[in-house]
């Protein structure tokens, strides 16, 4: 991905990627070692509180303008939202993504079923009807509105992947416990369109947003505090 770029800048996400051990200081250390081994030079390496908010990214780029002027490319260690945020701030050099986004999830680890249930951004969320479990990410057949045709009432194993429990059994058990079966029934009967209207673009930026974003762009030392949530 870095091809002929010889001088590299790195901005690393201090929140989700940090908690996934692919961003934060861990991500920077790992990437830096690879880059130096490959003969590249690293001119900037910073953790920012989060890469997805555009204003935080803008402040980070502004504060590190001098170092960035010596870089051929900027690596952003974050999900796709951070890459988009960096691109929309027009840093003047190519933005490179070296991490793969697999979905978004709750960062807490209190309920394994819900925490592992990634959102795949399908555009029509059904979590209210499925007791908080995303069928799209948990079911190998991506069967979102109800069980697939191989589903068995008597077998809890998934028909496609016998190593896992059928997510629709889990959804049903949880819905029964939470008295959500009518919502589940309504979901089975649904037939939704894929396209959604876009939300209007927000206009203007208030002073406090810039103030907060500036601080968030300089919060490198808070990275370990965020990491504490994982332990």
CA distances from 148 to 62, 165, 172, 208 (A): 51, 13, 14, 50
Please tell me the distance from the alpha carbon of residue 189 to that of residue 146, in angstroms, as a whole number: 9
Shortest Cβ distance from residue 114 to ligand SF4 (Å)?
10
Q: Among 60, 136, 180, 226, which residue interacts with ligand SF4 (rule: CB under 6 A)?
A: 136
Shortest Cβ distance from residue 130 to ligand SF4 (Å)?
8
- Verify binding: residue 184, ligand SF4, rule CB under 6 A: no
- Verify binding: residue 170, ligand SF4, rule CB under 6 A: no
Please tell me the distance from the alpha carbon of residue 90 to that of residue 85, in angstroms, as a whole number: 9
Cβ atoms < 10 Å from Cβ of 127: 13
**Pairing between β-strand 95-97 and β-strand 73-77 as defined by DSSP bridges:** parallel
Stretch that binds ligand SF4, among 19-27, 28-36, 67-75, 165-173 (CB under 6 A): 165-173
Shortest Cβ distance from residue 175 to ligand SF4 (Å)?
15
Residues of span 113-132 touching ligand SF4 by CB under 6 A: 119-122, 125-127
Element (H, E) at 46: strand 41-48
Please tell me the distance from the alpha carbon of residue 140 to that of residue 93, in angstroms, as a whole number: 39
- Verify binding: residue 167, ligand SF4, rule CB under 6 A: yes
- Verify binding: residue 52, ligand SF4, rule CB under 6 A: no
Positions that interact with ligand SF4 (CB under 6 A): 119-122, 125-127, 134, 136, 139-141, 143, 147-148, 150-151, 158-160, 166-168
């Amino acid at each position: 991905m870095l091809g002929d770029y010889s001088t590299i800048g790195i901005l690393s996400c201090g929140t989700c990627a940090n908690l996934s051990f692919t961003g934060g200081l861990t991500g920077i250390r790992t990437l830096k070692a690879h880059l130096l081994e490959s003969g590249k030079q690293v001119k900037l390496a910073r953790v920012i509180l989060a890469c997805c908010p555009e204003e935080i990214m803008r402040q980070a780029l502004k504060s590190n303008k001098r170092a960035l002027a010596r870089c051929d490319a900027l690596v952003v260690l974050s999900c796709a939202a951070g890459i988009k945020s960096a691109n929309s701030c027009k840093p003047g050099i190519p933005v490179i993504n070296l991490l793969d986004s697999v979905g978004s999830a709750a960062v807490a680890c209190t309920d394994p079923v819900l925490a592992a249930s990634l959102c795949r951004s399908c555009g029509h969320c059904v979590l209210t009807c499925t007791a908080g479990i995303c069928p799209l990410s948990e079911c190998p057949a991506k069967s979102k509105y109800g069980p697939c045709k191989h589903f068995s009432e008597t077998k809890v194993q998934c028909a496609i992947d016998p190593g896992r429990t059928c997510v629709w059994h889990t959804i049903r058990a949880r819905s029964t416990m939470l008295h959500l079966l009518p919502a589940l029934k309504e979901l089975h009967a649904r037939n939704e369109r894929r396209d959604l209207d876009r939300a209007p673009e927000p206009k203007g930026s208030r002073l406090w947003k810039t103030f907060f974003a500036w601080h968030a762009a300089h919060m490198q030392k808070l990275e370990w505090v965020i990491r504490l949530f994982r332990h």
